[in-house]
Amino acid sequence: MLMSAYRSRALRINPKLTKTLVAFSAMAPNNRQIGSLAPGYAEDKSQGSMLRFQDSLPRLPVPTVEETAKRYLKSLHPILSSAEYEISQQAVADFTKPGGIGCRLQERLLARREEPAVKNWLYDWWNESAYLAYRDPVVPYVSYFYSHRDDRQRRDPAKRAAAITSAVLEFKRLVDDGRLEPEYMKNTPICMDSYKWMFNCCRIAAKPSDYPLKFNPGFHKHIITIRKNQFFKIPHEVGGRPLNTAELELQFRRVYQVAQRGPAVGILTSENRDIWADARDCLIQAGHENKALLEAIESSSFVVCLDDASPVTLEERARQYWHGDGANRWFDKPLQFIINDNGTSGFTGEHSMMDGTPTHRLNDFVNHVILNNRIDLANPSIRSNLHEPQLLQFEITAEVQGEIDRAAKDFRHVVGQHQLAVQAYQGYGKNLIKQFKCSPDAYVQMIIQLAYFKMFGKNRPTYESASTRRFQLGRTETCRSVSDESVAWCSAVANPSVDDVQLKVALLRKAIDAHVEYITAASNGKGVDRHLFGLKKLVEPGEELPRIYSDPAYPYSSSWYLSTSQLSSEYFNGYGWSQVIDGGFGIAYMINENSLNFNIPRKKCATYSFPPRRSPEQSFNQTVSRQGLYTYTATTSPGTQSCISRLYAARLTNDVFSTWIVEIAHQLNMRTDLNRIVPCSGEPGGYPYVKPR
């Protein structure tokens, strides 16, 4: 990694807080005790603090064919009929027979893993297939967002933008200098390679596949600020000295003063990737300066979007950071910080070369040092020789304007197809769930499974992201959340004839244990999906595709009707992304110390509509038992009865689904009768119904 010639801080450090800031700067989200490093890891200090364990990380393993076959069939059993499952069993048996095609593909994959130049047998394949070759728009389908907590001291957007930029630049110096402390899973260091794709990087639209571009951070020392669709280049270092917070605030105020509504060039990045690749070539050819202007954006350290919006509700904020109006963005950049006119802020990230954990750490760092006053942001010194922000003015031909108009129309169509619901449940969180002796993540996964079962009368394939960063160049593996145990629990809870409380609690614990077992295996590189993907990649031209891949169960079992992932941050009030299939839900959930948050998008359906919003606390008792784990029931309050009528009339929407999720979360903590919410008899899909007393 290129080292920057860093001589002075952009932030004026309060001397009393210097030690604390440095400690936090080096701190990883999951810390370890000094001297408790797992055996087998060696430090190479010549690589710098951040990468000192990189060469001693193990390579991603290749499970045995038998391991994957067993786990695959186990994941299919709860989602297939008996006849379908029997067909899949035959296909798997054919694939795993001694000397068969599965064994030959496994030998090829093992050989690839051992190639000296291949640090991770999956890495290049996955980046290409899952991200760079993906042709649909990155927004709303791939990129993700974080919604920041409010900064009550900096309601002024220029001050908020300056504080965020100062903190991000401090983090950038830690990365560029290699001083950032590695992250750990317990006492095991994890891969830090993806941090090199955080700053001064960009995804470049191309055919048939995009590619990532990394620029020299020692040469490109500027940020891009977007206001009213106009792009401004602001150096963050002048004369060898970083800009302090007051100087950055001055530059942002200058942008606010001079920006005028311009052509929406940024909306081109919201297009289908092939269309954007062609439009990018068209833009370059439209003016002799346009290529250099593009490079100024693409090479920037990061982007700061000064939006002329003032979102208030959680849904409004989520929409603003997820996609906004599509124009005041450059969606190919991995880091975009968004500041609204009312001082609220958030973040949107491009996903192709970096998963959410590094940017989660970055955003936590930024909010921590600002909200906890870890840095003195009040340096009033402003140099007199700071140039005005440079307006990047593209030459726009009629052809380019036509591309912009088409992109704007396509963006409105795509985004307009999506519904979004956000639920913030304040009843309890991680602290109480741990008192139940449960994995908080598995507990919430079972809430989601039960909510889906109650809405649709069955469970369907569910994805949860499992990190494999304990391996070199590790990214993610799939945790298949639906199990025989989870289905047994959902079925028992929804069955009015099952009234044994202890049985339901026992079934829930078994479902949680099954989930923990799978996600642990997936994090250890022993999942199903990436292994089967890798074996399929090695089928040679002319070879017949093995039956395991032509079996309808293979694409169905990886059609993620629920695409889920979780993080914990006391500095966010939301985060999320899109669903991955039509008819599916994207469920981003946060498990904080004393709260749960769910962000749930899905595509609209012509027969679906939003019911009136309400709080689950309006329908359920507020008495909270902290003595153990209890399952749920509703009261018969008028609010509940009227809500059920609305649910039935509105049929199935993501707003309804999100309400069920938080209500089940609430009820799981109630000491009440277990049998008062059941599927409506005779209605397809198990629409919710409250039994009268």
Catalytic residues: 351
Task: Measure CA of the first residue to CA of the last residue in the chain; give whole Å.
Answer: 68
Length of the chain (residues): 693
Q: What is the DSSP letter of 618?
A: G
Instruction: Name, in order, each residue with C-beta under 8 angstroms of 413's C-beta and a sequence gap of 6 or more.
Output: none
Are 688 and 454 within 8 A, CB to CB? yes
Residue 346 CA to residue 422 CA, distance in Å, equals 15
Give me the half-sphere count of Cα atoms (radius 13 Å) on the Cβ side of residue 412: 5
Residue 58 CA to residue 525 CA, distance in Å, equals 11
Q: What is the helix (H) or strand (E) element at residue 213, kind and residue range? A: strand 211-214
Residue with tokens 């909270």: 624
Coil vs helix vs strand at 494: helix
Instruction: Name, in order, each residue with C-beta under 8 angstroms of 66's C-beta and a sequence gap of 6 or more.
Output: 96
Q: What's 256-312 look like in SS3?
A: HHHCCCCCCHHHHHHCCHHHHHHHHHHHHHHCCCHHHHHHHHHCCCCEEEECCCCCC
Residue 67 CA to residue 70 CA, distance in Å, equals 5
> Residue 542: how many CB atoms within 10 A of its CB?
5
Residue 334 CA to residue 362 CA, distance in Å, equals 12
**Which of 222, 221, 201, 205 has its CA nearest to residue 284?**
205
Are 322 and 249 within 8 A, CB to CB? no
Ramachandran bin of 457, using left for φ above 0, alpha for ψ from -120 to 50, beta for the remaining angles:
left
- As a dihedral over the C-alpha atoms of residue 120, residue 125, residue 128, residue 134, rounded to 10 degrees, the angle is -130
Q: Cite the DSSP H helix spans in 541-689.
A: 547-550, 553-557, 638-650, 654-667
Q: Measure Cα distances from 350 to 222, 575, 667 in Å.
A: 19, 14, 37
Are 581 and 560 within 8 A, CB to CB? yes
Prior bond of 140 cis (ω within 30°): yes
